[in-house]
Amino acid sequence: MKKSHRVVVFILFLSSLIFPQGKSSIQFSGGIAHPISSNSGLSGALQFNYNINSRFNYFISVDYTAWDKRNFSYLDDDYSLRTGYSETDHTLLRITAGGRYLIIEPDQFKLFVEAGIGYSYLVYDSYDMQRINNPDGTTALLITRAGNVHLNLFNFSPGIGFIHPITKKWDILFEFKLNTYLNAQYYSLFSSFSTFSSFQFGFNYKM
């Protein structure tokens, strides 16, 4: 069984022990991820919510995100703007715990804010770059694969969204999240190398 599958099964089992009936819900969502200076990707998440009261709940979530190239721009010798890439094939597995607060709570529209911290496991291919002088006097950028990078990171994830009930047991939700890594060799909080946003649409099932 893959590592990500084991994590999901463990959380499903744990939730059945600590989340009593009537006070918990399961949230399924998927959407688009937008890393800064990179291609857009896809993300999916499974989240358990435990209601402390009618306006606040704790949550624990597992999500998986994948995207391709980290792009950059450079000027050639003829001052033409060209593009290249330094990383490809990014995959990110995150486990996050936090809290959600309902700002307004009418019957049909519930606006909320939330924030969480957790663990991230990031994998991607890195590339070396070398400028090559061609016989005709022009230059080119040679990009060669350098290896596979594995990073263990901590993450901080604030978000805002809304929940809309559709039946007694089911809600739909839409959420915008900003995700940033708290530690890395050359990353800093909310830097372009450590931050991506995501738009999630999904369903919430009240247990």
pLDDT in tens, 32-56: 999 887 889 999 999 999 998 888 9
pLDDT in tens, 7-29: 555 554 554 444 444 589 999 99
| Count of all residues that appear for the chain in the document | 207
Q: Determine the Cα–Cα distance for residues 99 and 101; give it in Å rounded to an integer.
A: 7
Measured in degrees and rounded to the nearest 5, phi and psi for residue 10 equal -65, -45
The CATH class of the 3-82+90-120+148-206 domain is mainly beta
Q: Determine the Cα–Cα distance for residues 206 and 99; give it in Å rounded to an integer.
A: 17
Provide the residue type at 76 as one letter: D
Q: Determine the Cα–Cα distance for residues 159 and 53; give it in Å rounded to an integer.
A: 20
pLDDT band at 192 (very low <50, low <70, confident <90, very high): low
Residue partners of 97: CB distance under 8 A and separation at least 6: 58, 59, 60, 61, 116, 117, 118
> Could you give the C-alpha distances from 150 to 8, 37, 126, 186, in angstroms and in order?
21, 20, 10, 14
Contact 195, 36 (CB under 8 A): yes
Cβ neighbours, 10 Å, residue 131: 11
Residue with tokens 């805002």: 160
Number of helical H runs and strand E runs in the chain: 1, 9
pLDDT in tens, 91-106: 999 999 999 999 876 6
